[in-house]
Structure formats: C-alpha cells, structure tokens
Structure 1
Amino acid sequence: MNELDKSVVICRCEEVSYEEIEEVIRLGARTFDDIKRLTRCGMGACQAKICNFLVANIIHEELGKPLQEIPLPRMRMPISPIKLETLSTNSKDFSTVKSVLDEVEVKDGEVG
C-alpha cells in the first residue's frame, strides 16, 4: 500500500485520507477503534464495511502487526438497517431489531 498517494481517501463515507490515518498512528493509535475515535473513519453510512480492510493494511504496514492480530472495529446497534416505515408506523414486520415505537403507547395521535 506504500505506493498509494498520501491524499488517497481510505474512508469514503467520512472522507478520511491515508495521510490522516498514518498521522494518528504516529500519534499513538494502535487499533481500528483508536483510528475511528480520532478521525471518524468507519463511522459513515457503510459502518466500515468498505474501509475496514484498507485500515487494517495500513496498521499492518505502519506497526508491523500481523493482520490476524488486528481486531475488527467495534460494531454498534443497529447492526442491520431499519426501514423508515418501521420507525414511522406501528409496523412489526421486521426481523431482529425492534422499533422504538414498540415501547411507546400512542392513543389518538398522542404519546402516552
């Protein structure tokens, strides 16, 4: 990966460049989660599905850490997307993630 231009965007969702990741590693970041906290890398719409491997490779190259020893980034709920319809109606037609509306009682258009 060293042949990449330092301005190459690694995380497209948050527009984090190779150079920015390299810099936070120099400042002490050792894991994807460290890099995520300092740059927002992996916090965009894809939730690190696209940049995870690229960041792991940068960590591997900069720190000499074997790829299998680099932990995956921590995932936050919801792990799967929720349709807006589920959130805006009392729909119970979805899989594992519950709607916030399932815990709210609504009578005559008012939350009770």
Structure 2
Amino acid sequence: MAKVNVICRCEEIEIDEIRKWIAAGYTEFDELKRILRVGMGPCQGRGCRDIIIRELARATGKPIAEVRAGVIRPPVKPVKAMLLADED
C-alpha cells in the first residue's frame, strides 16, 4: 500500500496534489485555495495553512515571511447558529 500524505484533512488533499499545482505556476495560497479548496473546510486552514505556506516558500525560494498567507474570512472558528439567532 502506498504511503499517503494528506495535508488538508478537511478536503483530503495530499502533498503531491499541492506540489503538482505549485509546479504548474500556482504560487500563492489563495490560488491553491480556489483550485483545491484547501483552507475552506471546517478548520478554516488551521490544520493545513502553515504546511502549505512552507511548501510554497520551499518551491519559490522565498522566505516564509514573504509568502502571502491568503485571505482569512470570519468566522475563523465555527459558530453555532443558535448563538447568532435573535431571541425574539
């Protein structure tokens, strides 16, 4: 059985898939997010964002600090709908 390295557990995206798209010229987190949906699952990228940013830095030769982390939209953590509902 082949070893599988799932990076984005929410969307079940493996490192080889991420590397394929980076090699094709997608060198920003938001680009990968639009194509692969990484960072869009229930964890909102808390599980995969840092790993993908490190991979982008390695592939582009940029320091990690220069790799754009992408847009984070609220809510960053899941919120129960009943907490947002009006009591009236």
Which residue does 1:90 correspond to in 2? Answer: 86
Give the TM-score normalised by structure 2: 0.84
How many pairs does the alignment contain? 86
The structure with the largest alpha-carbon Rg is 1
- 1:18-47 Cα deviation digits (max 9, x unpaired): 011101111111111111111111110010
Which residue does 1:64 correspond to in 2? Answer: 61
Which structure 2 segments of 5+ residues have no match? none
Name the Cα RMSD after superposition: 1.8
Higher normalized contact order (CA 8 Å, seq sep 6+, divided by chain length): 2
One-letter identity of the residue aligned with 2:30: D
Work out the percentage of aligned pairs sharing the same amino acid.
36
Give the TM-score normalised by structure 1: 0.68
**Aligned-residue offset at 1:65:** 1.3
Point out 4+ residue stretches in structure 1 off by more than 4 angstroms.
none
One-letter identity of the residue aligned with 1:61: R
Distance between the aligned counterparts of 1:23 and 1:43, measured in 2? 19
